[in-house]
Each structure stands twice: as C-alpha cells, then as structure tokens.
Structure 1
Amino acid sequence: MATAVETLGKLERRITISFPLTDVRTEVEKRLKVQARTAKAPGFRPGKVPLKMVAAQYGYQIESEVLNDKVGRAFNDAANENNLRVAGFPNIVPKEEAVEGQLAFDATFEVYPEVVIGDLTAVEIETVQADVSEAEIDKTIDILRKQRVHFHTKGEAGEHGDGGEPIAANGDRVTVDFVGSIDGVEFPGGKAEGYAFVLGEGRMLPEFEAATLGLKVGESKTFPLSFPEDYHGKDVAGKTASFTITLQKLEWAHLPEVDAEFAKSLGVADGDLAKMREDIKVNLQREVAGRVKARNKEAVMDALIKVAELDVPKTLIAQDSERLAEMTRQDMAQRGMNVKDVPFPAELFAEKAERRVRLGLILSQLVGDNNLQATPEQVKAQIEDFAQSYEDPREVLKYYYSDRRRLGEIEALVLEENVVTYVLGLSKVTTKAVAFDELMGSNAQA
C-alpha cells in the first residue's frame, strides 16, 4: 500500500509504501525452502541440510533480497497508479514510525519535468559554410610532405644535394648537449646529451633556439635564459639560468618531391597526380562537411536551450556526471596514463552533464511531438556514409548491425540530425562563410 504523493519541490516527490511483516516472513520461508533443496553442508547430503542451518547461512541474504523485491515492486506499482514518470532512482529509507506488524519506507524521488518549447519560427540561428579550394589542397600536400620528411647531414653531398652551408638554420634538425645552472648550481632537468629537435618548430624556449641558430658542429655557446613565470617546471619558473650548448650533429630536411612515387605513398596505385589531388579534395570535403554539420548542430542546440523552459532533475545530472567522470578515466587509461589513484570528482562534470541532460529532455520532447524518430533507412544510410572512408564497407555495416548498442549510437545520431533539420526548417536562418583554417581549427560539439 502507498500513501498519497507529497510534493516537496518543483520536481521532488515523496510517497510512503508499506506492507505486512508477515508477507516478508512468508516469502523468506518460501525461498529458504527452495534454497534448502540444493544447500550443502559438511556431514549432510545435498538437499538434506536442516532448515535452521540453511536459515543461518542464507537467511540474511534472502531477507535482503525479499525486502528489495517487495519495496521495488511496491514503489513501481505506486508510481504507475499515480501516473508518475520517475527520473533516475528513488532514495528509499525505512520510516521511523510504522504501524505494528507493518514495514514502512519513505521513497523520495524526482519526476520528469514539463518541457515547454517556445516559438521556433521566431528563433534566429546563424549557420556556417566552407569550401575546399586548390589552396587548401596545396596546403594539405605540404603537410603530407612534412610528415614524410627525411633528414641528411648538412654540408655533405648526397643524392638530394648538400643542404647548403653547414650552419644551424630554421628547419634543420640539431642534436645538442646542454647544461644549465642557476647561480652557478646545476638544476634537475637542466642537463642533457644528444638531445634532438627541429629549429623553428617552437619545441624549445625562444632564447634556446636563438642561441642555437648559426652554430656549426662542434661549436659551443653560453647564454642567459629566462624561464617564464608560468613555466611547467615550478623550481625554475620566473628565474634566469645560464646555459651552455654544444652542437653535436646538424641535419637538413629533405621534403619528398610531389611526383608519382609520392602519390603512390598516399595510396594512389598508378601514381597519377591528378587522382591524388582529387582523393585529397574528397577527403577534405568530407572533413569539412563533418565540421560544418557539427558547428551548425551546436548552433541549433544553443538555440533550443534558450527557447525551451524546463527544470532539470538533479538526479539525472548526478548520474550523468558520474558517467562522464568514468568515461574520462577510461579514456585517459586507454591513452596510457596512470589514473589509478587520481580522483575524478563528479562535480567537475556537473555543468557539462546539466547541458547534456537538458538537451536530452528537449530533444525527446521534440521527437515525440513531431515524429522525428530515426527510420531504418536513415540509420543504414548513415552507416553507409561512415563506411565510405574504409577499405571494406561491408565490414563496417557488419560492425554496427552485429551490436545493438552500436546501432543505438547511430540511431541517436540520426535522431539529432532529424531535430536539427526540423528546427532549421522553422527558424530564421542566416549563413556565414568561414575560412577553411578557422573551421578546421575548431572542435564544435553540442
């Protein structure tokens, strides 16, 4: 039996559920007898263990199971009878005062809120678009060349030349020995032998690179170096050290020519340069389309948050915060980081969780009100689109359709796209062209 629903706040509710103690005892005895059929104990054949011994061994566990079952069933029945949409899990505690012969519990919980979505036709949304030009293709080819760079001893004649005068210049890879001291005392991390880096890439502090420029192999230089106040090494941050560097090795960078061999290294079997450029263009267009879609989705989600009115259940925020914390832990562990003893307070993820839960409730309302569910045809088309960038598209289809959870992720993605299309179709949309570099430098995520 359950009492009337008490309203404790905008979303918080409480009900008291109770049932006769005899019901619990009867069910416990029934389960103990079932357990006794297979119970084992020294000196007794299976199934012949005295019921008192079975009760002593399994009684507490069975009683807990019976209570959990009865309380859970009573709560669900009460929620259904009162047409309550319970958000998250209830907090159920024994009631201090109860009628003799009865067990009573207070169940405190939250319900899903009413979601009121404003006039979407009055919403203004700015979307973006971007194009892939020949300049972007050229820039990508330059990046691919740098990824395949070869270094040769500078000043020594070889197949590709000698690299020019054998003095350190930007773009060269230098190998140096160095030692640093502060007030005449060497400090941890201030000494190394055979340390290699490429000049001009910014891996070293500017003063260090500047001192290396112009050196020849075997030459040394002593110079002052001021560590920034925010330097990661706290012991030396904000201090000035004296460094001595000695150039041990000097190599110049040879970038591969853009020829048939280069095209073959990118997977173009016949080495056709025009086909190579077309492949690069297609890949860039796919990447641009994905970034544009993400930016525009974020703009729609931001607009929905502004136009929708609802209270967000704290229970759901707490659950999602825990989920985000665990996902972060697992991600860092997969990257090889030791996070065994690192705390991941869920509170750190509360703001992101609140946005995720809020959007989830808004999208659920829009989907239900406007029949925006993902269709099987849309899901298949989305997976086929993903599969285009893989050598064997059939394996990609198999990967998703063989796991209901993976398929659910695609369905959720399609559902979001349906919502985005629906909202953009109603709202006042303006489109802004963005530069390729600006778009590719962003990581928009709703």
Structure 2
Amino acid sequence: MQVSVETTSGLERLMTVSVPAERIDQDVNKRIQQTARNVRIDGFRPGKVPMKVVKQRYGKGIREEVLSQVVQETFYAAVQQEQLNPAGGPTIDVKKEVEGEDFEYTATFEVYPEISLADFSAVSIEKKTAEIADADLDTMIETLRKQQATWVETDRAAADGDRVKIDFEGFVDGEAFEGGKAEGMDLVLGSGRMIPGFEEGIVGAATGAEIDVNVTFPEEYQAEHLQGKAATFKVTVKSVSEQKLPELNDEFFGKFGLDELTEEAFRAEVRKNMSRELKQALKMKLKDQVFSKLIDVNSVDVPAALIDREIDAQRRQAVEQFGGANSKMDPNSLPKELFSAQAERRVSIGLLLQEVIKLNKLEADESRVRETLEEMAETYQDPQQVIDWYMNNKEMLDQIKGLVLEDQVVDHLLSQAQVTEVTVSYEDAIKPEQPAPAAKEETEAAE
C-alpha cells in the first residue's frame, strides 16, 4: 500500500492511497470461492458450481463489496501510518479501478488542530462571592407566596399589581389596525407584557370603566408599519382582581413536602435551596469566565466537521426542548446560523480542555465524583437510590466524571491565573450575566 498526503487548506488533508492489484484479486477470488460453496444455481449440484460461472454472475457485486471493505481497512491503516488524527469521516473519491491494476482512491478529511497552550498566568479572573441576607430570604419567601396566590375580585379602582380582565381595540390615525383587538384578556398591571404606557393607562380604572389609553409604539416594534406611531386603545375594564397571598401556616408549608410544618423549618429549607442555587450560579459564572479567557488567549483552528456535529446536536436538543421527545419536527429545518456561533465556542472549549487534561495528566477525582453525586441526589426523596443508580450506570457515571474533570481543569487554570475576589449581592449573583430580553406574552395587538 502506497500513501501520500497533501495539505489542501488549513486542517484539510487530501490522502491518496494505492492498493496493489494482487491484494484486490486475492480478496475477490477468496470471496468468489466462498460464494461458490454456498450458492445454488439451477443445473449444478450444491458446492459444484464452476468458479467461472460464479464470477460471471456475482463477480461485479463481489468486487464492489471487496473494494468497499478495502477502502475502510486501508484508510484507517493509512492514517495510522501517517500519524494523522481525523476530526471527521472522509470523503472518498475512487481515482482508478481497473481489474488487474492497482486500485487507487483519495480521501479528503480534516484533522484535529495542533494546540500550543498560551501562558495563563497573566490572565485576570474576577471571582464573585455572595451571602444570603435575611432580606434575600424574605424576598424569596414572598415570591413563593405569590406563586401560590389567588385572585379575588374587588370593587376598587385598579392599582399596580392587580389583575384586570379587559376588552380593547387599537386605532392609529382613527383607523383600527389588524391584530389590535382582544376580548376577555387577563393582564397583571406592572408585568410589562404590553407596550410602554398601556398598563399604566389602566391604573385607576374600576370595573365597568371605558377608557382611552394613548400610547406610542416603540421605534423598534416588530410590525414596521406601527413603529413610532401614536395609537389610541379603547379599553373596557370587565373586572379588577387583587392578589391574595397565602398565610404562612401548616397548609402552606405542607405544599413543600416538609416533615416539620413550622415557619422555622420552612425558612431553613428555603435558605438551604437558595444556598444550593447560589453555589451553582457562582460556579457556572466563574467557569464561563475561565473558559472565555481560555479562548481569548488561545487561537484555535476549529475543524468544520466538529462544528457541524455540534450544530446537529444542538438542533436535536432544541427540538426536544420545545417539541418534546416525540416531536415530528425535522431538526435540520432549524437554520444552521442559529447555532453556529455557540457550536464553534463549545468545540473550541472542548479542544482546549482536552489539551489541558492531556498536558497535566488530569483524571477525575473519585472523591469529587462521589461528592458531586451526593449533592445531586440530596434534592431527591431517596438520595441513596439515586447514587446507586448512577454508580451502576456506566454511561451516566461517565457524564458525571466528565463534569468533575471539567471542574478540575477550571481549578488548575485558576491556580495559574490572577484571581480577585469580589463580593456581590445574592440577587446579582444568581441573575444571568447577559440576560436575554424578556419575551412578550401579550397578544399581537400590543406585544
């Protein structure tokens, strides 16, 4: 077997492989002999079919099978011989296929990049820390009460935080516009669901009131023909309801699965959950910052094959997330551009992490694996059952080991970097660094 390799561009390689005719002929003849022993052809006894007849009838198909197998075997032998590390499957192009002559094909594929990690000692990392104040705990409990709140109709005028049921129709220059009408819509005043000025215009109106709410559509409004336009919404208030929060009593505590139905036990449980959330949020922010810095100081040539593979994975995840596991939606129908930037970032991080792991000979610490499992399991009713399930499921356990190894890489990089601790509030600690714009849930009329 003769092999030559050419660098066509960046990470792409063009490998030419020539296989001696003797090997092809030998494999073909061997396969024909095997076929002759088993094939049944009218006019011949089993096992007595002449080789010439078998070759005439089955030779072409047998040769194709042999060549396919030869390509598979010689490709992997060739990349090992040339010490290449393919990042994806090859594109095979047969260049010469003539019986009795050497078989020749080319394989085009990408290889993994050679990475030389940059010095991380000059990198500055801001490590955020936070504590849970009593006021944070009170705020969380108030949020939990609001989640269990009920609505009670009232005769008073609507105030911020009330829920109103309204009919409305919108007009621009005295003309009703498409999508500007709704009936019986529930709206919590102050929720920010509607365009600026709409909810504020209803504050002070009581049940039965018919009012005009004057607003101006935002310049960046999604419907271009309404951008920056002044509009009047004729609103009828059908009802006004105020929020009634549940009391901190046994009935309320029982909804959270507590063994001890007391306010002290409830507050302790809420604080425990907040601490878990805080720890995870700070950890993820620190990890994301370290990964971003790692990418900043290391230029990585990313194989397109790996990016495409990651995009496919993200497409499938998106379909499962929004359509469920049984969704019939084709993941490939989602635009590739939606995932390309994130996919390239993930692949870049993965390649760099692998290099850090390899250079420093890192392995998942078993004690940290156990600790991680215990932290995950403590939110379940039977933690030990969860731990046992992971320990007896190699695939799932490997995922946990991968997460732990990732944490160890972060620790290793932090040990090299210049780390400064910064104290922030609980609220700042748990909110996303770059929160996405809040999705509007209102009707088409005023979203």
TM-score (norm 1): 0.84
SS at match of 1:3: strand
CA change 1:361–1:217 in 2 (3 A) is: closer
Do the aligned residues in 2 keep the contact of 1:295 with 1:444 (CA within 8 Å)? no
Q: CA deviation at 1:65?
A: 4.1
Of 121-130 and 395-404, more deviation after overlay is shown by 395-404
Q: Deviations over 1:89-115 (max 9, x none)?
A: 223212269897122011233333322
Cα 1:74–1:256, aligned 2, differ >3 Å: closer, same or farther?
same
For residues 24-103 of structure 1, the aligned pairs below 5 Å read 24=24, 27=27, 31=31, 63-95=63-95, 101-103=101-103
CA 1:394–1:51 in structure 2 vs 1: closer, same or farther (change >3 Å)?
farther
The Cα shift of 1:271 comes to 2.0
Q: Does 1:220 align with 2:221?
A: no
SS of 1:85's equivalent in the other structure is coil
Conservation of the 8 A alpha-carbon contact between 2:207 and 2:238:
yes
CA contact (8 A) 2:214 2:231 kept: yes
Q: Secondary structure at the match of 2:90?
A: strand
After superposition, the C-alpha distances for 1:89-148 in whole angstroms (9 at most, x for unaligned) are 223212269897122011233333322123333433221111111111011011111111
* Amino acid in structure 1 at the alignment position of 2:251: E
Alignment of 1:31-430 (within 5 A): 31=31, 63-95=63-95, 101-155=101-155, 166-234=156-224, 236-308=226-298, 310-334=300-324, 339-340=329-330, 343-430=333-420
**Per the alignment, do residues 131 and 194 of structure 1 end up closer, same or farther by CA in structure 2, a change over 3 Å counting?**
same
SS in 2 for 1:116: coil
> Structure 1 residues 296, 244: closer, same or farther in 2, change over 3 A?
same
Asked if the contact 1:128–1:292 (Cα under 8 Å) also holds between the matched residues in 2, the reply is yes
| Equivalenced residues, count | 435
The DSSP-based 3-state class of the residue aligned with 2:83 is: coil
| Superposed displacement of residue 366, structure 1 | 1.7
Q: CA deviation at 1:280?
A: 1.0
One-letter amino acid matched to 1:108: T
Tell me what 1:5 maps to.
5
Query: In 2, Cα distance between the equivalents of 1:49 and 1:333?
Result: 58
Aligned to 1:163: none
Identify which range, 358-367 or 371-380, moves more after superposition.
Answer: 371-380
Give the letter aligned to residue 73 of structure 2.
Answer: R
1:392-418 CA distances to partner (integer Å, 9 max, x unpaired)?
A: 213322443454332222111111111
Q: Which moved more, 1:214-223 or 1:303-312?
A: 303-312
Q: Does 1:439 align with 2:429?
A: yes
Q: What TM-score, normalized by structure 2, do the two folds share? A: 0.84
Give the 3-state SS of the residue equivalent to 1:171 in structure 2.
coil
Distance in 2, matches of 1:56 and 1:323, equals 46
Maintained 8 Å contact 2:207/2:239: yes
Opposite residue 74 of structure 1, the aligned amino acid is T
Residue 357 of structure 1: how far off its partner (Å): 2.2
For structure 1, which segment, 32-41 or 331-340, has the greater mean C-alpha deviation from structure 2 after superposition? 32-41
1:179–1:186 CA contact under 8 A, matched in 2: yes
Q: Which moved more, 1:379-388 or 1:412-421?
A: 379-388
Contact 1:179–1:190 under 8 Å retained in 2? yes
What is the CA RMSD across the aligned residues, in angstroms? 3.7
Shift of residue 387 of structure 1?
0.6
Question: Counterparts of 2:62 and 2:98 in 1: how far apart (Å)?
Answer: 23
- 3-state DSSP class of the match of 1:279? helix
Distance 1:139 1:322, change over 3 A: same
**TM superposition shift of 1:360:** 1.7
**Distance of 2:334 and 2:297 partners within structure 1:** 33
Q: Deviations over 1:284-342 (max 9, x none)?
A: 11111111111111222223223445433333233323333333343332299885497
Deviation digits for residues 56-77 of structure 1 (CA, Å, limit 9, x no counterpart):
9987776554333211211111
Q: What amino acid sits opposite 2:277 in the alignment?
A: E
- Amino acid aligned to 1:94: V
State the alpha-carbon separation in 2 of the partners of residues 343 and 142 from structure 1.
43
Taking the aligned partners of 1:280 and 1:370, their CA distance within structure 2 comes to 40
Matches of 1:417 and 1:33, distance apart in 2: 58
Identity %: 36
Instruction: Label 1:358 to 1:242 Cα distance change in 2 as closer, same or farther (>3 A).
Output: closer
Q: Is the 8 A contact 1:89 1:109 kept in 2?
A: yes
